[in-house]
Amino acid sequence: MISLVEIAFYKSDKTLLDKGIRFFSKSPYSHCEIVFNREFAISASGRDGGTRIKKADQMNFDDGNKWDFYKIDLNLDIDKIYDFDRVYKGKYDFVSIVLYHMLRIPINIKNKYICSEYCFMIINEYSNNSNKKTLDTFLKLYFGNRSYKLNPSNLLLILEMSRLISRT
pLDDT tens for 58-76 read 888 988 899 999 999 898 8
- The answer to whether 97 touches 17, Cβ cutoff 8 Å, is yes
The predicted structure's pLDDT at residue 81: 94
Do 33 and 86 meet the contact criterion of CB atoms below 8 Å apart?
no
Bridge-based pairing of strands 91-92 and 67-72 is unpaired
Residue percentage of the chain with pLDDT more than 90: 54
Q: Distance of alpha carbon 49 from its chain centroid, rounded?
A: 15
Q: Strand, coil or helix: what is 53?
A: strand
CA 127-1-128 angle, 5° bins: 10
CA dist., res. 164 & res. 168, Å (int):
13
pLDDT classification of 8: cutoffs 50, 70, 90: very high
- Of the listed ranges 11-20, 32-41, 153-162, the one predicted with least confidence: 11-20
Residue 1: pLDDT above 80?
Answer: no
Give the pLDDT band (50/70/90) at residue 36. Answer: very high
pLDDT at 98: 87
| Structure confidence by residue, pLDDT tens digits, 136-152 | 888 888 787 788 889 99
Confidence of residue 134 (pLDDT cuts 50, 70, 90): confident
